[in-house]
């Protein structure tokens, strides 16, 4: 059975889920034409023939495994708890929005109710599929049904205890047949044990001192045609996730701290460019009005340009409406004792350099609007850690603080919706930025943008 083989189980589940999604759309169609008219007197003349829904059903069959993969439903061998109704409903809603958006590209006009029924139908079907899979794995665990023997190579007592427990609890069908300590096992003995146990997998979790032995053992596995799994425990990475990637025809083990995949990053980039362009067009009269107000109150340019640190610390010119007198930067040294922010950041609650128009712009955050041009140019994002002046970035002393530079800076982030300048400790500011980086998803960006609106309207923590 495909689900009993760890190498095929993921592909098998993806094929099953694609078939279930295909069936769910036609089941929703049947509910619309058979069950709904019996319960409610709704005319059926705009439903259309079932053939109209075939392209959408095929689309759902292809898209469902992709969305489920991105939502973590196929994590290898995991006895996942991701069968929760809320998670599955979110997947179904994403597919619903995809289908509705494509209706405009087809000449036919299928019933929107069919797609509405598709959401709960697919959610229920996937929940039942996930529940059955959990029961299958539980059955394997209780009845000790194994399809693959694994040899564990570990030089720590912790690893020797941890892995057998993990495989036993997962119900994956993999049995830890033997545990070997590389310091006490010769390569010849290792190869003989491979034969004696009919092992299909060898899992290596060793310290750096035993990597040379593990390298030769992996080569022996290669010669025998046995899968070799290498834990990255020896590196000691706590945040970065390891991925094997082929670069210039070379296999590299890549440690990446950013959480989301490339498709979400591309979606974020497209959204930033399109949204910033639309906002610039819509609020252009407001931008002109603010520009005039600043010039009427004080001499000097209405736009303040400053070198800020972008992704990985690369400098760029950030634009803001000028809220201070023109010699504000030259007067900062004399106000240094009044700084209310710990760390390299300089902030004062009642800064004497701020103009009257500037105070209003700061309270409403309207001074940040010119950064939409930075977003459109790709130098910033709508959501991301706020860019610091280059001299403040240079003053950072901790490597962990610089990790906030690993993503593109943004106009708003968790810091802005958590009281903004009420956060007086730079370490708390960094903590919120790193929390955003570690939890990032496109959906989190949308949530932050919506939560930014009341934070700006009510001026929470603004200065």
pLDDT digits (tens, 9 = 90+) for 410-431: 998 887 776 555 555 667 777 8
Give residue 143's pLDDT.
Answer: 66
Local confidence band at 1 (pLDDT 50, 70, 90 cut-offs) = very low
Local confidence band at 226 (pLDDT 50, 70, 90 cut-offs) = confident
Q: pLDDT: is 93 or 246 the higher one?
A: 93
The predicted-structure confidence for 40-54, as pLDDT tens digits, reads as follows 665 555 666 777 888
Average pLDDT, the chain: 79
Q: Are residues 318 and 361 in the same domain?
A: yes
Q: pLDDT: is 287 or 177 the higher one?
A: 287
Q: Are residues 104 and 169 in the same domain?
A: no
Q: Are residues 199 and 332 in the same domain?
A: no
Q: Are residues 38 and 137 in the same domain?
A: yes
Do the bridges between strand 250-256 and strand 241-247 make them parallel or antiparallel, or are there none, so unpaired? Answer: antiparallel
Q: Which residue has the tokens 């959480």?
A: 259
Q: What angle (nearest 5°) sits at the alpha carbon of residue 79, between those of residues 77 and 85?
A: 125
Q: Give the residue ranges of DSSP H helices in 248-355.
A: 262-282, 284-297
Q: How far is CA 22 from the centre of its chain?
A: 27
Q: Are residues 134 and 164 in the same domain?
A: no
Residue 12 forms part of a structural domain = yes
Q: Whats the size of the chain, residue-wise?
A: 463
Local confidence band at 342 (pLDDT 50, 70, 90 cut-offs) = low
Local confidence band at 453 (pLDDT 50, 70, 90 cut-offs) = confident
User: Are 374 and 304 spatial neighbours (Cβ–Cβ below 8 Å)?
Assistant: no
Residue 197 forms part of a structural domain = yes
Residue 9 forms part of a structural domain = yes
Q: What angle (nearest 5°) sits at the alpha carbon of residue 61, between those of residues 55 and 64?
A: 125
Q: Are residues 293 and 369 in the same domain?
A: yes
Local confidence band at 82 (pLDDT 50, 70, 90 cut-offs) = very low
Closest CA to 179 of 221, 222, 165: 165
Give residue 349's pLDDT.
Answer: 67
Give residue 425's pLDDT.
Answer: 64
What whole-number distance in Å separates Cα of residue 311 and Cα of residue 192?
52
| CATH code (residue 211) | 3.40.50.10700
Q: Are residues 276 and 314 in the same domain?
A: yes
Q: Which residues of 398-433 are buried (b: 16+ CB within 10 A; e: fewer)?
A: eeebebbbebbbbbbbbbbbbebbebeebebbbbbb
Helical axes 112-143 vs 54-70, angle rounded to 10°? 50
Asked if the model's pLDDT at residue 117 lies above 60, the reply is yes
Backbone phi, then psi, for 347, in 5-degree steps?
-150, 140
Q: Are residues 181 and 281 in the same domain?
A: no
Q: Are residues 112 and 198 in the same domain?
A: no
Q: Are residues 124 and 205 in the same domain?
A: no
User: Are 296 and 393 spatial neighbours (Cβ–Cβ below 8 Å)?
Assistant: no
Q: Are residues 17 and 55 in the same domain?
A: yes
**CA 128 → CA 17, 47, 84, distances in Å?**
11, 28, 11
What whole-number distance in Å separates Cα of residue 203 and Cα of residue 192?
16
pLDDT mean over 106-116: 75
Q: Which residue has the tokens 């912790």?
A: 158
Number of separate domains in the chain:
3
Residues of the domain holding 206? 146-236
Identify any residues that bridge with 174 across adjacent strands, giving them in sequence order: 148
- Percentage, residues of the chain above pLDDT 90: 14
User: Are 328 and 304 spatial neighbours (Cβ–Cβ below 8 Å)?
Assistant: no
Please enumerate in sequence order all residues whose Cβ is within 8 A of that of 192, keeping only pairs 6 or more positions apart, or say none.
none
Closest CA to 404 of 312, 319, 314: 312
Q: How far is CA 328 from the centre of its chain?
A: 39
């Amino acid at each position: 059975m495909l689900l009993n083989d760890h190498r095929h189980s993921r592909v098998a589940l993806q094929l099953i889920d694609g078939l279930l999604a295909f069936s769910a759309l036609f089941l929703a169609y049947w509910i619309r034409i058979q069950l709904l008219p019996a319960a409610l007197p709704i005319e059926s003349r705009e439903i259309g023939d079932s053939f109209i829904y075939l392209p959408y059903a095929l689309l759902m069959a292809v898209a469902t495994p992709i969305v489920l993969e991105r939502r973590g439903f196929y994590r290898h061998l995991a006895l996942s708890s991701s069968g929760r109704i809320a998670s599955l409903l979110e997947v179904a809603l994403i597919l619903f929005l995809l289908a509705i958006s494509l209706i405009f590209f087809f000449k036919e006009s299928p019933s929107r109710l069919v797609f509405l029924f598709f959401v709960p139908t697919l959610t229920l079907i996937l929940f039942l599929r996930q529940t059955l899979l959990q029961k299958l794995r539980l059955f394997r665990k209780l009845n000790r049904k194994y399809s693959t023997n694994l040899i564990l190579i570990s030089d720590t007592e912790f690893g020797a205890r941890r892995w057998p427990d993990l495989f036993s609890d997962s119900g994956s069908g993999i049995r830890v047949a033997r545990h070997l300590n590389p310091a006490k096992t010769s390569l010849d003995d290792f190869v003989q044990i491979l034969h004696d146990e009919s092992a299909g997998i060898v899992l290596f979790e060793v310290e750096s001192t035993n990597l040379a032995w593990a390298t030769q053992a992996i080569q022996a596995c290669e010669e025998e045609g046995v899968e070799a799994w290498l834990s990255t425990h020896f590196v000691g990475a706590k945040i970065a996730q390891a991925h094997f990637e082929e670069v210039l025809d070379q296999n590299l083990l890549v440690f990446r701290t950013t959480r989301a995949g490339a498709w979400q990053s591309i979606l974020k980039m497209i959204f930033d460019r399109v949204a910033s362009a639309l906002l610039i067009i819509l609020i252009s009269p407001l931008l002109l009005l603010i520009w005039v107000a600043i010039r009427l109150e004080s001499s000097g340019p209405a736009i303040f340009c400053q070198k800020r640190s972008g992704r990985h610390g690369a400098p760029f010119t950030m634009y803001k409406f000028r809220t201070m007198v023109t010699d504000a930067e030259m007067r900062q040294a004399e106000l240094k004792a009044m700084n209310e922010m710990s760390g390299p950041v300089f902030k004062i609650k009642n800064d004497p350099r701020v103009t009257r128009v500037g105070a209003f712009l700061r309270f409403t955050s309207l001074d940040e609007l010119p950064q939409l041009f930075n977003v459109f140019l790709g130098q910033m994002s709508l959501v991301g850690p706020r860019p610091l002046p280059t001299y403040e970035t240079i003053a950072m002393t901790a490597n962990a603080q610089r990790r906030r530079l690993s993503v593109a800076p943004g106009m708003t982030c968790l810091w802005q919706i958590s009281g903004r300048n009420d956060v007086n400790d730079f370490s708390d500011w960094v903590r919120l930025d790193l929390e955003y980086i570690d939890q990032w998803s496109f959906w989190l960006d949308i949530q932050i943008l919506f939560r930014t609106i009341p934070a700006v309207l009510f001026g929470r923590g603004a200065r």
